[in-house]
Amino acid sequence: MDRIDRMALFTRIVESGSFARAASDLGVARSTATEAVKVLERETGTRLLARTTRQVRPTAEGDIFYHHARAILTAVDDAYGASRQGAPSGHLRIGASGLLTRTFLVPRLPDFLTRYPDITVEFGQTDRFVDLVRDGVDCVIRAGEPDDSGLMMRRLGALPEITCASPAYLAAHGTPTDIDDLDGHHMVGFLSSRTGKVLPLEFQRDGSVETRVVPARVTTDNSDTASALALSDFGLIQAPRYRFEAQLADGRMIEVLAETPPEPIPLNVLYAGSRHMSRRLDVLLDWIAEIFADAL
């Protein structure tokens, strides 16, 4: 293992917080990872990692070394890409919800991989917050206005949202025709990842946004589970239209209050800012922007 390989392994250990995961990601034995860090610490003359039983973190010196190493590795990637007539290469990790990935990204993936045959792609499908550096993720696609996290952002568009419910629920509770006509109704409660509280229903009327708090007998912090609950007759739900496109078409869900829809939800791709963004990430961001420019 040469010096560049050792730096690549070290950065992956820092990003994943784990010797075992870093070794697995790079296809080497854990003992090799341990020995590589020992060599780096001998070469730099300082301790680079602080180890506990639960996690691995860089020391102050290790953090400085990490940022220098990351910049060097990005430059190496760019140099190899330039030497191959600009063809980007390497592995990309994308974070997005499972349904969004399957609906928008997967159908267009063959074209991307044909266009860039030296790139490999890994999808991480979760609604949870992702630390791009720690988790080794290149970018995440998220709905809603992002927190001021220091990440770079590219706006992809806005997802139209609807209010809907199952036919059985509406048969039992009636079909609301006005947002002031929600007494006796229930909703599927969705817990905000920011506040931990159930989000109220939201409606656009007369140029402004109004909210209504509707009782929720069942709550969840997972969008797929929320959809399953709505399909199982637990109440009204608000979600991006694409989530229920098939069920609206075959009658398993019915849109209500269509004249006062929720505000469209912004959709963004977030990535770590750097003077040296890899060429593979650059072409990935362009590809993602193309997809949603056509879809939204």
Instruction: Give the architecture-level CATH label for domain 1-85.
Output: Orthogonal Bundle (1.10)
SS3 state of residue 89: coil
What's the confidence (pLDDT) of residue 81?
Answer: 59
Q: pLDDT of the chain along its 296 residues, tens only?
A: 889 999 989 988 887 888 888 888 888 898 999 999 999 999 999 999 988 766 788 888 988 898 888 778 877 776 665 555 567 888 899 999 999 999 999 999 999 999 999 999 999 876 556 667 666 788 999 998 877 567 788 999 999 999 999 999 999 999 999 999 899 999 999 998 778 899 999 999 999 999 999 999 999 999 999 999 999 999 999 999 999 999 999 999 999 999 999 999 999 999 886 555 788 999 999 999 999 999 98
**Residue 196: per-residue pLDDT:** 87
* Alpha-carbon gap, residue 156 to 149, rounded angstroms: 18
The encoded tokens of residue 141 equal 């696609």
> At the top level of CATH, which class does the domain 161-263 belong to?
alpha beta
| R_g over Cα of the chain | 23
CA distance 49 to 58: 4
262 Cβ contact list (under 8 Å, min separation 6):
161, 162, 163, 201, 202, 203, 204, 238
Cα–Cα distance, 225 to 271 (Å, whole number): 27
pLDDT of residue 276: 57
Task: For residue 42, count other CB atoms closer than 10 A to its CB.
Answer: 9
User: What pLDDT does 149 receive?
Assistant: 65
Cα 37 to chain centroid, rounded: 31
Residue 274 has what pLDDT?
Answer: 59
**In angstroms, rounded to a whole number, what is the distance separating the alpha carbons of residues 263 and 276?**
36
**What is the model's pLDDT at position 146?**
76
- The structural domains of the chain, with segments of one domain joined by +, span 1-85, 87-158+264-296, 161-263
- Per-residue confidence (pLDDT) for residue 141, from 0 to 100: 94
Rounded Cα distance between 62 and 46, Å, is 8
CB 107 within 8 A of CB 295: no
Task: Confirm if 40 and 47 have CB atoms less than 8 A apart.
Answer: no
The CATH number of domain 87-158+264-296, selected from 3.90.230.10, 3.40.190.10, 1.10.10.10, 3.40.120.10: 3.40.190.10
Check residue 133 and give its pLDDT.
Answer: 67
> Could you tell me the pTM of the whole model?
0.73
pLDDT at 158: 93
Same fold across 87-158+264-296 and 161-263: yes
Question: What pLDDT, on the 0 to 100 scale, is given for residue 107?
Answer: 97
Angle at 74 between CA 69 and CA 78, to 5 degrees: 145
Q: What is the predicted pLDDT for the residue at 14?
A: 85
Q: Are 296 and 267 in contact (CB under 8 A)?
A: yes
